[in-house]
């Protein structure tokens, strides 16, 4: 959440370069934005409410500058106003600071500084940081002032600070991501890699309680706890800049849906021995807990069915934010499997820290290599989906499901059978994602675009996919959508069905099919418009979306038409499918 970007180097268009970088990070927050650039011993700045993508070169007349920081905001403290947009400043505008995270004791810091005469102009927690640094600066160097302020702040943060008369960027982190891109004589700082991928693929990650001071010569890292310098090894990022671009597609969401023609295959490119080792760890663990948030959480729930049915293992599941209430059962022989696209989700990271504090081992299934989860886990499996930029997860979801299905097969000693099934599924998806298929789903979107509510039902793994379908439809169409276990309808939710209410049934060609079709009859008898997503048609369906029969991988194929439906409903309802309201990618706050 919140995009941060900075540049320091020989180029003299740093503010415009930072704005371009922020545009690439807009999926992290898009309610307001701002840039501060150092020029002629002063700080020039520009802040605006709205999306940074609306900015055109020349909209603000920046002086030539080779040092600038910027931020695109997802509001936490204080409404969406120019005053609350970052950067925030001290009284004489000699310091400018951007921040991602939440400072939990900001109210105390602010009250104390106000009593000492500091004047605040925003409602943000962030402004208290820059005033605190300003306060300490009266009696110590800039570096010491930042360190002291960091030691006094509670909560999560990634901050960047510049000073009007010093050619340097100071960055510090606890909990929220910051990556330093090292170019040829130039430096970038971003909260995600795609922001600077066109300039460099050589990076250093800032870890918790670390600070970096970047000047024209070098990036020097410090451990804030021991107050000592640290050396870091450069990491090469394998993503190409073009992978993070839309190419010929109108939106990242549809591009990423279509990339599923090959992402399952890439997810399967794992080291067999590593997979077997992890399967043994699952089998030997004293309790295995799958943990993820939002869509990743639904992937975890789906995997509990896969581990039971395919791997004959019982695994537990919790959403990241609930894990702290379940952690009493974690022992030093337990295993946590954390699932995350970004590898930065705060609630999942907190669950990882809780598990590790009890001595449990952690396996992460993640997309972003080098992310905090990658670095903090005992084992990691990368899903290799490439950058996912649309806020709604699509290709990462199915790639995560593929890796977990593979692990379930490995637990049963049937790794090769799992690979074959998933490779077959990949070619089925390739055939399915054609223009005629999309047109068929667009027809359905046209029919239901004006409804107020819709329901999605499924049994077994399709129950988890029904819950994930609801998330996808809610966030992109803004239509009220809810997922249920189909057998649960008659225990309450069936009261919601009235004439023409769309009910989407997700069906597998297995023993669950008969039950779900019966449940379809029950809602149809009460007037529902029944949409079947199933390998075979049935008389109960008012609208049928054919999916391939993918056996144990049915959950993977069943979510894809829902992704397309959500996308087209979003377009018809004039929503931005890539940047849905109130949301942002990579939820780095609790
Ligand atoms: C919804 C969506 C979110 C994420 C969730 C976890 O489409 O993308 O629900 O799944 O915020 O994010 P990661 O996977 O980055 O941990």
Domains of the chain: 3-243 (3.60.20.10), 246-430 (3.40.50.10490), 434-578 (3.40.50.10490)
* pTM of the shown model: 0.92
Q: Could you tell me the distance, in angstroms and rounded to a whole number, from the CA of residue 56 to the centre of ligand 1?
A: 31
DSSP state for residue 65 in the 8-state scheme? B
Q: What is the tens place of the pLDDT at every residue in 112-133?
A: 999 999 999 999 999 999 999 9
Q: What is the pLDDT along the chain (590 residues), one digit of tens a residue?
A: 899 999 999 999 999 999 999 999 988 888 999 999 999 999 999 999 999 988 988 889 999 999 999 999 998 899 999 999 999 999 999 999 999 999 999 999 999 999 999 999 999 999 999 999 999 999 999 999 999 999 999 999 999 999 999 999 999 999 999 999 999 999 999 999 988 999 999 999 999 999 999 999 999 999 999 989 999 999 999 888 888 899 999 999 999 999 999 999 999 999 999 999 999 999 999 999 999 999 999 999 999 999 999 999 999 999 999 999 998 989 999 999 999 999 999 999 999 999 999 999 999 999 999 899 999 999 999 999 999 999 999 999 999 999 999 999 999 999 999 999 999 999 999 999 999 999 999 999 999 999 999 999 999 999 999 999 999 999 999 999 999 999 999 999 999 999 999 999 999 999 999 999 999 999 999 999 999 999 999 999 999 999 999 999 999 999 999 999 999 999 999 999 999 999 988 888 88
Three-state secondary structure of 502-559: EEEEECCCCCHHHHHHHHHHHHHCCCCEEEEEECCCCCCCCEEEECCCCHHHHHHHHH
The answer to whether the beta carbons of residues 571 and 577 sit under 8 Å apart is: yes
Atom 6 (ligand 1) nearest CA: 293
* Cβ of residue 345 lying under 6 Å from some atom of ligand 1: yes
Specify whether the CB–CB gap between 406 and 274 falls below 8 A.
Answer: no
In the beta sheet, which residues pair with residue 180? 189, 204
Query: pLDDT at position 391, please?
Result: 96
465 lines ligand 1 (CB under 6 A): no
Catalytic choice (23, 24, 389, 585): 585
Q: Annotated catalytic residue: which of 2, 46, 411, 520?
A: 2
- Rounded to the nearest 10°, the torsion over CA 101, 107, 112, 115 is 120
310 Cα: distance to centroid of ligand 1 (angstroms)? 26
**pLDDT of amino acid 244:** 87
Query: How far apart are alpha carbons 545 and 25 in whole angstroms?
Result: 35
Residue with tokens 């500058």: 65
128 Cβ closer than 6 Å to some ligand 1 atom: no
Which atom number of ligand 1 is nearest to the Cα of residue 348? 16
**pLDDT at res. 238:** 86
**Is the CB of residue 296 below 6 angstroms from any atom belonging to ligand 1?**
yes
How far apart are alpha carbons 434 and 274 in whole angstroms?
35
| 562 Cβ inside 6 Å of ligand 1 | no
Q: Which two tokens stand for residue 308?
A: 């039971």
Two tokens, residue 519? 């449940």
Cβ pair 532, 507 in contact under 8 A = yes
Residue burial 345-354, b: 16+ Cβ < 10 Å; e: rest: bbbbbbbbeb
| pLDDT tens-digit readout, 269-283 | 999 999 999 999 999
361 included as an active-site residue: no
**Using omega within 30 degrees of 0 as the cis cutoff, is the peptide bond preceding 418 cis?**
no
Q: Is 11 a catalytic residue?
A: no
Question: Which pLDDT score, from 0 to 100, does residue 557 have?
Answer: 98
Distance, in Å, from the CA atom of 300 to the CA atom of 277, rounded to the nearest integer, reads 20
19 lines ligand 1 (CB under 6 A): no
For atom 9 of ligand 1, which residue has the closest CA? Answer: 294
Residue from 192, 252, 296 to probe ligand 1 pocket by mutation (most atoms less than 8 Å from CB): 296
């Amino acid at each position: 959440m919140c995009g941060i970007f900075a540049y320091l180097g020989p180029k003299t268009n740093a503010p415009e370069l930072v704005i371009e970088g922020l545009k690439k990070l807009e999926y992290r927050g898009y309610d307001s934005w701002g840039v501060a650039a150092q020029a002629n011993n002063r700080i020039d700045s520009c802040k605006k409410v709205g999306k940074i993508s609306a900015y055109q070169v020349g909209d603000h007349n920046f002086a030539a500058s080779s040092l600038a920081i910027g931020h695109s905001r997802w509001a936490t403290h204080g409404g969406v106003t120019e005053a609350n947009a970052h950067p925030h400043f001290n009284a004489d505008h000699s310091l400018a600071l951007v921040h991602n995270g939440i400072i939990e004791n900001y109210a105390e810091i602010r009250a104390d500084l106000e009593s000492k005469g500091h004047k605040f102009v925003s409602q943000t927690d962030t402004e208290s940081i820059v005033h605190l640094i300003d306060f300490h600066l009266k009696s110590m160097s800039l570096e010491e002032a930042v360190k002291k302020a960091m030691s006094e702040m509670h909560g999560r943060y990634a901050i960047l600070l510049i000073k009007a008369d010093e050619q340097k960027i100071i960055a510090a982190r606890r909990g929220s991501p910051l990556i330093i891109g090292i170019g040829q004589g130039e430096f970038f700082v971003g909260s995600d890699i795609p922001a600077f991928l066109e300039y460099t693929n050589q990076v250093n990650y800032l870890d918790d309680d670390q600070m970096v001071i970047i000047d024209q010569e070098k990036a020097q890292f410090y451990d804030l706890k021991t107050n000592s310098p640290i050396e870091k090894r450069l990491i090469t990022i394998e993503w190409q800049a073009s992978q993070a671009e839309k190419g010929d597609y109108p939106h990242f969401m549809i591009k990423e849906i279509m990339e599923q023609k090959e992402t399952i295959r890439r997810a399967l490119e794992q080291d067999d021995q590593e997979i077997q080792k992890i399967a043994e760890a699952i089998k030997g663990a004293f309790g295995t807990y799958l943990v993820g948030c939002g869509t990743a959480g639904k992937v975890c729930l789906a995997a509990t069915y896969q581990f039971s049915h395919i791997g004959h293992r019982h695994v537990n599941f919790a959403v990241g934010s609930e894990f702290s209430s379940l952690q009493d059962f974690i022992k030093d022989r337990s295993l946590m499997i954390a699932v995350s696209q970004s590898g930065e989700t705060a609630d999942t990271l907190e669950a990882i820290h809780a598990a590790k504090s009890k001595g449990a081992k952690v396996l992460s299934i993640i997309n972003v290599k080098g992310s905090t989860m990658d670095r903090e886990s005992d084992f990691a499996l990368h899903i290799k989906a490439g950058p996912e930029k649309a806020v709604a997860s699509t290709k990462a979801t199915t790639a995560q499901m593929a890796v977990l299905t593979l692990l379930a097969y490995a637990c049963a000693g049937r790794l090769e059978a799992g690979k074959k099934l998933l490779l077959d599924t990949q070619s089925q998806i390739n055939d399915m994602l054609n223009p005629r298929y999309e047109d068929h789903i667009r027809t359905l979107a046209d029919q239901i675009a004006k409804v107020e509510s819709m329901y999605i039902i499924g049994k077994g793994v399709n129950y988890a996919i029904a819950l994930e379908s609801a998330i996808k439809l809610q966030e992109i169409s803004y239509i009220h959508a809810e997922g249920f276990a189909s057998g649960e309808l008659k225990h309450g939710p069936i009261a919601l069905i009235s004439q023409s209410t769309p009910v989407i049934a997700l069906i597998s060609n297995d023993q669950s099919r008969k039950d779900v079709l019966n449940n379809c009859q029950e809602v149809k008898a009460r007037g529902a418009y029944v949409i079947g997503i199933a390998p075979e048609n049935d008389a109960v369906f008012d609208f049928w979306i054919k999916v391939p029969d993918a056996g144990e991988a049915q959950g993977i194929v069943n979510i894809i038409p829902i992704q397309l439906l959500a996308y087209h409903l979003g377009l018809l309802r004039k929503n931005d499918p890539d940047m849905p309201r109130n949301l942002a990618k990579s939820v780095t706050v609790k």
